[in-house]
Amino acid sequence: MTSPPAVLRRPDRFYDGDVFDLDGTVHLGKALLPGAGEVIASIRKRGCRTVFLSNNPTRDPQMYADKLGGLGIATSIDDIVNPVVTVPRWLVRTFGRIDASDESSYIHGDLIKVDGGETLCRYSV
């Protein structure tokens, strides 16, 4: 008997956490993909953290947490990573507070509230 292809082999070690892309990996549109909920539940049962990643800048973390919850995967907004979270944090860390009223800043896109209610930008792509 031959070994299954590497893609199908059980991992030989586990990590403290796992990062999942959302659309196309965990769900497709409004439907949970087959097996996704079970895999995430088994990882969490082992005590590992699960984090969800999206490159979509039009939705904030709460929207993703609500969507996952509606699909049966309870998720904190702290476990959602996307440009709405990462870009403003990087801008603040790199350049200081970025605000629409700051004339030294040119903000493309809509304004949102993140990180304790400070006004930061949602950039457009």
Domains and CATH numbers, the chain: 14-81 (3.40.50.1000), 83-125 (no CATH)
Q: Is pTM, for the whole model, over 0.75?
A: no
Residue 120 CA, distance from chain mean position: 18
Sign of CA dihedral 54, 58, 60, 62: negative
List, for residues 21-65, the tens digit of each pLDDT value: 999 999 998 999 999 999 999 999 999 999 999 988 778 889 999
